[in-house]
Amino acid sequence: MAASAADGRDPGAPEAGHTPDPQRWRALWVTLVAGFMSLLDVTIVAVALPTIQRSLHASAAQVQWVVSGYALTFALALVTAGRLGDALDRRRIFLLALSGFVLCSAACGAAPGITLLVVARLAQGLAAGFMAPQNSALIQQMFRGAERGRAFGFFGATVGISSAAGPITGGALLALASGPQGWRWIFYVNVPIGILAVLLGRRLLPRTRRSERGRVDATGVLLLGLGVLALMYPLVQADSGGLDQLWWLFPVGAAILAVFTWWQHRLVARGTQPLLDPRLFSTVRGYAVGAGIGTLYFVGFSGVWLVFALFYQRGLGFSPLWSGLAVTPFALGSASAAVVSGRLVERFGRLLTVCGLAGVIAGLGGTALLLRFAPLHTAPWLAAPVLFLGGVGSGLVVSPNITMTLRDVPVRMAGAAGGALQTGQRLGAALGTAALPGLFYLVLGRSHDYRGALVTALGAALVGMAASLALATADWRRDRHTHRPRRTCPEEVANDPVHARHT
């Protein structure tokens, strides 16, 4: 190692010669606002689907693409966008993507029919996918040492809160903009916020240093895109029978990703810059484990919001606003814990994730039991404090896991690493949002029992979270038994002779 505990230097300390950007905290808030918008748009539209369907006279299969199409193109762009940011200029890619996101939001709001709305949503998801990995990469670039943990704490809070806040935000906007065309404001609200973020970003965001730039692996882009598309397309078509008709795409996608992995190893052996360096998973301490924890967690985390919306709106007759208010305690708990956890992660490390996952499982499990057995007129409100506990747990999962997964990644690889991490999360989210509502409808169709359908779907979500907890616990126990420092020094990868040829 270039630096270790033996030489008395803290691996988390700022690197020698690094001059902090005086605008870094202001620039961080610009990226967080943009990231919040892009991730919020994954869930905020779900509560408006019935209104959109009636307003545009669309079929159920057509309107589902308003949500699933966005998720698909979002996931397809992430790794390639991250590598382009590393190779070209993160600031430029971020501002172009944010501008495209604003334009597409306006196009979605103005769409006269379902076809143009779906096309605009596909383009909006692509723009969001190009923007998202620049957020974590810019944090890597602007912050060092303990400040990086704090910055990732805010970033993790943004990821967690944006997903949980979608239902309440969508419900509130629909309540304020009443009428058959009120759903358009779910998209229009992005426009003024996005324009302001673009203007501030031009002033505050730093450019990528030329020494960090490199080439883009076009073959890798094609292989990874085809592999992710093959895995996600059956999931986004789940409501239209995609899992039954397109199941064969799963082994095809796995085979393409295996070829992609072989190709990346080959490029490394030849001393050429790959799209996604495989040594991120083998050399950078915590990256592989963190990516696995995030993927498994998002299988359960992302799907529960659609299940809650179905239960509250169709089972209990709640309006979109009241449906969103019923799950607001989770968002509040997540927000409060995520910001604090950014300061605690340096002290407690993976133990924080373990405790958080246990809290989420207890919170969602307790909520499922209350909604199953408590009187219906009081159950949603009795569940509020238990949901808050689950939200606190979530705030201790998402933020610390992102911090521990990305903080040791060399800056010049930060975009691709952040894109790969979020690709895993998007795949997990796609699986959860396809499987959990599907399971809900399956049980409901057989028993006509909304409570039973809810408990079954939440139980499936808890299985994914329990798998994530098992992985986090194993990593925590391994660290305790080996007495190794939680982090690998970034210079360990940066001084690799093959990496040296890349700069």
The pLDDT tens digits for 341-355 are 777 877 888 889 999
Q: What is the pLDDT of residues 151-173, one digit of tens each?
A: 877 887 787 677 667 777 877 88
State mean pLDDT over 3-31: 60
% residues pLDDT > 70 (the chain): 88
The Cα–Cα gap between 344 and 373 comes to 37
The angle formed by the CA atoms of residues 257, 263 and 264, to the nearest 5 degrees, is 90
Amino acid at 29: W
Look at the block and give the residue holding tokens 């923007």: 131
Q: Residue 271 — φ and ψ, nearest 5°?
A: 75, 25
Looking at the predicted structure, is the pLDDT value of residue 388 above 70?
yes
pLDDT band at 496 (very low <50, low <70, confident <90, very high): very low
Confidence of residue 81 (pLDDT cuts 50, 70, 90): confident
pLDDT tens per residue, range 448-489: 888 988 999 899 899 989 999 999 998 888 877 665 444 444
Give the residue with greater pLDDT, 84 vs 434. 84
Q: What is the pLDDT of residue 238?
A: 66
Q: What is the helix (H) or strand (E) element at residue 461, kind and residue range?
A: helix 450-482
Question: What spatial distance separates the first Cα and last Cα of the chain, rounded to whole Å?
Answer: 19
Containing 73, the helix (H) or strand (E) segment is helix 60-87
Confidence of residue 127 (pLDDT cuts 50, 70, 90): very high
Q: Residue 466: what pLDDT?
A: 93
Q: Are 160 and 338 in contact (CB under 8 A)?
A: yes
Q: Is the pLDDT of residue 90 over 80?
A: yes
Is the pLDDT reported for residue 217 higher than 90?
A: no
Q: What is the reported pLDDT for 24?
A: 85
Predicted local confidence at residue 208, as pLDDT? 67
Distance CA 214, CA 340 (A): 37
What's the mean per-residue pLDDT of the chain?
Answer: 80
* Contact status, residue 300 vs residue 123, Cβ threshold 8 Å: no
More confident site: 242 or 288: 288
pLDDT of residue 99: 95
Pick the CATH number of 21-206+214-500 from 1.20.1740.10, 1.20.1250.20, 3.40.50.300, 3.30.40.10: 1.20.1250.20
Q: What pLDDT does 166 receive?
A: 74
- Specify the pLDDT at position 173: 83
CB 71 within 8 A of CB 430: yes
Which residues 6+ apart lie within 8 Å of 466 measured at CB?
Answer: 361
What is the pLDDT, as a whole number, of residue 219? 87
Q: How confident is the model at residue 214 (pLDDT cuts 50, 70, 90)?
A: low
Give the tens place of pLDDT for each residue, 110-123: 999 999 999 999 99
pLDDT value, residue 486: 44
Comparing C-alpha atoms, which of 141, 275, 132, 269 is closest to residue 214? 275
pLDDT of res. 369 = 92
| CA atoms of 180 and 200, how far apart (whole Å) | 35
- Reported as a single tens digit per residue, the pLDDT across 225-276 is 888 888 877 877 766 666 678 888 889 989 998 998 898 888 888 887 787 7
> In whole angstroms, what is the distance from residue 411 CA to residue 431 CA?
31
DSSP code string of 345-411: HHHHTHHHHHHHHHHHHHHHHHHHHHHHHS-TTTHHHHTHHHHHHHHHHHHTTHHHHHHHHHTTS-G
CA gap 200, 195 in Å, rounded: 9
Task: Tell me: pLDDT of 426 over 90.
Answer: no
Taking only the tens place, the pLDDT of each residue in 180-191 is: 888 899 899 899
φ/ψ of residue 490, rounded to 5: -55, -30
Predicted confidence (pLDDT) at residue 397 exceeds the cutoff of 80: yes
Mean pLDDT of 204-223: 73
Instruction: Report the alpha-carbon distance of residue 334 to residue 357 in Å, rounded.
Output: 12
pLDDT interval class at 299 (50, 70, 90): confident
Identity of residue 282? S
- pLDDT, mean of residues 273-293: 82
Whether pLDDT at 63 is above 60: yes
